[in-house]
Amino acid sequence: MRALLVRDVMTTSVVTVAPDLGYKQIADLLVEVGVSALPVVGDDRRVLGVVSEADLLHKVEYNGADVHPGLFERRRSREAKQKATGETAAELMTGPAVTVAASAPLTVAARLMERHNVKRLPVVDDDGHLTGIVARRDLLRRYLRTDDEIRADVLDGVLSGVLWLDPIEVAVAVAEGHVSLTGKVDRRSTAQIAVRLTRAIDGVVGVTDELEWGFDDTTLQRRYAFDV
């Protein structure tokens, strides 16, 4: 049982642009490839930034208007005006680029996208070189696993592999990615761990916990923590 990593779902064939590529060529390439943003990379394949449709639209937004920043103008407005005068990828791009490691779990990529409000991330190796790109839709691949695959991970990876439980002690049913656990285990903490590990399995959209236990060891844990 191994959680999916960024390298498992990323696209390895990535169209990139050089820092000196011109405005029109960038616009043409975005339309031709059918994407909203492209990584800007140097000769060493290190990601310098990302140039997007939004970056190019600043020129349309101001369309010859005064682009000299005011003394008390907000930072975002100053940057937009600066990009409106840009002619190359280096002048138009947003940088430094927000990247993600190929070895990162999908949850890390999802949090980066949410935090920085971006739809895709350049993927880099341990040396910072571009190896691919991951988009929001790629992160959904973890939920494309079959119910049989998920059930096997619960049985072999969680119950037998981690908790050393006999398969007859816990019944596992999976329907459309939702897992139901029923049966009886020795301790309450064992049941809690089983549910928590099951939720973390790729493809699981929810867990119904119907597990019973013979001994509530969590009360002892709380009592010990209180006494200490």
Write down the pLDDT at residue 226.
47
**DSSP H or E stretch at residue 137:** helix 136-139
Structural domains in the chain, sorted by start: 6-142 (3.10.580.10), 147-227 (3.30.1340.30)
Residue at token pair 């399995």: 201
The answer on pLDDT for 72 being more than 50 is no
The answer on pLDDT for 224 being more than 90 is no
Provide the 8-state DSSP code for 162: T
Write down the pLDDT at residue 8.
93
| Half-sphere exposure at residue 60, Cβ-oriented, CA atoms within 13 angstroms | 8
Write down the pLDDT at residue 64.
54
Q: What is the mean pLDDT of the chain?
A: 87
Rounded-to-integer distance, Cα 40 and Cα 179, Å: 43
The encoded tokens of residue 6 equal 């960024």
The answer on pLDDT for 76 being more than 90 is no
The answer on pLDDT for 93 being more than 60 is yes
Query: How far is residue 81 from each of residues 69, 194, 228, measured CA to CA in Å?
Result: 7, 55, 61
Q: Amino acid identity, residue 167?
A: P
Region 193-209 average pLDDT? 94
Write down the pLDDT at residue 175.
95
**Reported confidence tier of residue 65, pLDDT bands at 50, 70, 90:** low
pLDDT digits (tens, 9 = 90+) for 149-200: 999 999 999 999 999 998 889 999 999 999 999 999 999 999 999 999 999 9
The answer on pLDDT for 13 being more than 60 is yes
**Reported confidence tier of residue 228, pLDDT bands at 50, 70, 90:** very low
The answer on pLDDT for 70 being more than 80 is no
